[in-house]
């Protein structure tokens, strides 16, 4: 083997070794990235599950609040109707009493003349 062949073979072996080392480094980087991506995917999945649970809880709370509000408004409407009826009856009774007092006063005034 000539000196040139030996140098070329040595250079080729160095290039192959460097290529092998670079390939191994790239594989390690890819593996680390894969592990990182898998970890992120698990975290995102967990976060999404928590978000879905939270949204479902909020929806349930809003439905309950809406039902309660409707019920409370209906109850308040009934109470207001009852209050209006009672107030109307009391005002009618008061009006009758005032009319009676007025009539009595008019009779008293006539009797005093």
Task: Give how far Cα 24 sits from Cα of 17, 20, 29, 31, 36, Å.
Answer: 10, 6, 9, 10, 18
pTM for the model stands at 0.54
Match 């009774």 to its residue by tokens. Answer: 93
**How many angstroms from the chain centroid is the CA of residue 13?**
64
Here the tokens at position 77 are 């409407």
Per-residue pLDDT of the chain (113 residues; tens, 9 = 90+): 899 999 999 999 999 999 999 999 999 999 999 999 999 999 999 999 999 999 999 999 999 999 999 999 999 999 999 999 999 999 999 999 999 999 999 998 998 87
Query: Measuring CA to CA, how many Å separate 34 from each of 20, 27, 47, 72?
Result: 21, 10, 20, 56
Rg value, the chain, Cα:
47
């Amino acid at each position: 083997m000539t000196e040139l062949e030996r140098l070329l073979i040595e250079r080729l072996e160095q290039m192959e070794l460097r290529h092998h080392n670079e390939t191994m480094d790239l594989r390690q980087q890819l593996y680390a990235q894969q592990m990182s991506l898998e970890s992120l995917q698990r975290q995102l999945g967990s976060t999404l599950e928590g978000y879905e649970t939270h949204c479902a809880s909020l929806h349930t709370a809003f439905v309950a609040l809406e039902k309660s509000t409707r019920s409370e408004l209906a109850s308040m409407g009934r109470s207001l109707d009852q209050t209006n009826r009672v107030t109307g009856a009391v005002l009618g009774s008061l009006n009758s009493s005032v009319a009676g007092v007025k009539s009595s006063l008019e009779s008293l005034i006539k009797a005093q003349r």
